[in-house]
Amino acid sequence: MADPITLTINGRALQVPAGTLVIEAAKKHGIEIPAFCYYEGFTLQAACRMCLVEVEKMGKLQPACTLPAAEGMVVLTESPKVVDARKGMLEFLLTNHPLDCPVCDKGGECELQDMVFRYGAGESRFVEIKHHENEKQWSPAVYYDPARCILCYRCVRVCDEGLGVGALGLTHRGVHAEITPSHGDHLECDECGWCIDVCPVGALTSGTYRYKSRPWEMNYAGTVCTHCSNGCKTTLSVRNGEVIRANNRDRSGINGEFLCVKGRFGFDFVHSEERLQAPLLRKDGKLEPVSWSEALAAVAAKFGEVKARGGKFGVIGSTRTTNEENYFLQKFARQGLGTANIDHHRSGDVVTLLDALKGKTDALATVGDLYTTKAALVIGSDLSQQHPLLAVQLRADYRHHQSSTYVVTPGEVREDQYAAKSVRAKAGEELAAVEALREDLSKHESLVILFSDAIKGEAVGKLVAFGDSLGAAVKYVCLQDYSNSRGAMDMGLLPDLGPGYHAAPAAGMSMDQMLAAKDLDVLWVVGANPLENTALASESAFVVVQDLFLTETAGRADVVLPAASAYEKTGTVTNVCGEVQRLKQGPKVMGVKSDLEIMGLLAKELGLSLGIWTADKVFEEIRKTVHGYNVALPVIATGGAAQTTPVNGGVPVTVRPELIRSAGDTLFTSGTLGRYSKMLQGVMEAPGELYKR
Partner 1 sequence: MLLNKPHPLEVKVLTRRYEYPQKEAIGVDEYVAKEGYEALKKALDMTPEAIIDEVKKSSLRGRGGAGFPTGLKWSFVDRKSPKPKYIVVNADEGEPGTCKDRIILEHEGHRLIEGCLIAGRAIGSNRGWIYIRGEYRTQIEAMDRAIAEAYARGYLGDNVMGSGWAFHLSTHTGAGSYECGEESALLESLEGKRGNPRLKPPFPATSGAFQCPTIVNNVETYSAVPDIILKGGDWYAALGTPKNGGTRLVCLSGHLVTPGVYEVPLGIPLMTIINEIGGGVWKGRKLKAVIPGGSSSPVLRPEECDIPADYDSLAKAGSMLGSGATMVLDETTDMVKLMARIMKFYAHESCGWCIPCREGTAWLAKILARLDEGAGTKKDIDMVDELAQGMMGRTFCALGDAAAMPAMSFVKKFRGEFEAKIANAKVYMPAPQTQPLVVL
Q: Which residues bind partner 1 (CB under 8 A)?
A: 44-50, 52, 59-61, 66, 84-85, 88-89, 91-96, 99, 116, 120-129, 131, 150-151, 169-170, 172-177
Task: Identify which of residues 66 and 614 has a Cβ nearer to partner 1 in the complex.
Answer: 66
Residue 154 or residue 331: which is nearer to partner 1 going by CB?
154
Smallest distance, Å, CB 392 to partner 1?
25
Which of 484, 261, 489, 231 is CA-nearest to residue 366?
A: 231
Cβ proximity of 583 and 572 under 8 Å: yes
Query: Of 91 and 109, which has the nearer Cβ to partner 1?
Result: 91
172 vs 249 by CB, closer to partner 1: 172
Task: Identify whether the C-beta of residue 71 lies closer than 8 Å to the C-beta of residue 4.
Answer: no
Residue 63: burial class (beta carbons within 10 Å; 0-12, 13-18, 19+): buried
Identify each DSSP E strand in 322-398 by its residue range.
342-343, 375-379
Work out how close the CB of 33 gets to partner 1 at its nearest, in angstroms, rounded to a whole number: 15
Q: Which residue's CB is nearer to partner 1, number 116 or number 394?
A: 116
The set of residues, in sequence order, having a beta carbon less than 8 Å from that of 474 and lying 6+ positions away, is 363, 446, 447, 448, 449, 467, 468
How far apart CA 373 and CA 448 sit, in angstroms, is 7
What's the closest the beta carbon of residue 99 comes to partner 1, in angstroms? 6
* Residue closer to partner 1 (CB basis): 47 or 635: 47
Strand (E) or helix (H) holding 17:
strand 12-17
Shortest Å distance, C-beta 48 to partner 1: 6
Q: How far is the CB of 434 from partner 1 (least distance, A)?
A: 33
Separation between Cα atoms, residue 372 and residue 403, nearest integer Å: 8
Nearest distance, CB of residue 153 and partner 1, angstroms: 9
Q: How far is the CB of 89 from partner 1 (least distance, A)?
A: 5
* Beta carbon nearer to partner 1, 49 or 302: 49
CB contact at 8 A, 40 and 29: no
Burial class (CB in 10 A: 0-12, 13-18, 19+), 446: middle
Q: Which is nearer to partner 1, 144 or 466 (CB)?
A: 144
CB of 120 to partner 1, least distance (A): 6
Q: Between residues 170 and 506, which has the closer beta carbon with respect to partner 1? A: 170
Can you spell out the DSSP letters for 208-273?
TTTTT--GGGSEEEEEE-SSBTT--EEEEEEETTEEEEEE-TT--STTTT---HHHHHTTGGGG-T
Q: Which amino acid is residue 540, in one-letter code?
A: S
Q: Which is nearer to partner 1, 62 or 237 (CB)?
A: 62
- What is the phi/psi pair of residue 243, to 5°? -80, 130
Angle at 324 between CA 319 and CA 326, to 5 degrees: 40
Nearest to 478 by CA among 582, 412, 561, 387: 387
* Residue 85 C-beta: closest distance to partner 1, Å: 6
Q: What is the 3-state secondary structure (H, E, C) of 467-532?
A: HHHCCCEEEEEECCCECCHHHHHHCCCCCCECHHHCECCCCCCCHHHHHHCCCCCEEEEECCCCCC
Q: Which is nearer to partner 1, 173 or 309 (CB)?
A: 173
- Please give the full DSSP string across 581-650, using - where no structure is assigned: EEE------TT-B-HHHHHHHHHHHHT------SHHHHHHHHHHHSTT----HHHHHTT--EE----SS-
Q: Cβ closer to partner 1: 151 or 333?
A: 151
- Find the shortest distance in angstroms from Cβ 125 to partner 1: 6
Distance linking the first and last C-alpha atoms of the chain = 34
Paired with 68 in beta bridges are 21
Q: How far apart are CA 140 and CA 590, in angstroms?
A: 28
Least distance between partner 1 and beta carbon 233 (Å): 34
Report the nearest approach of partner 1 to the CB of residue 174 (Å). Answer: 4
Least Cα distance to 51 among 22, 13, 25 occurs for: 22
By beta-carbon proximity to partner 1, the closer residue of 154 and 275 is: 154
Cα–Cα distance list, 485 to 142, 521, 651 (Å): 31, 27, 18
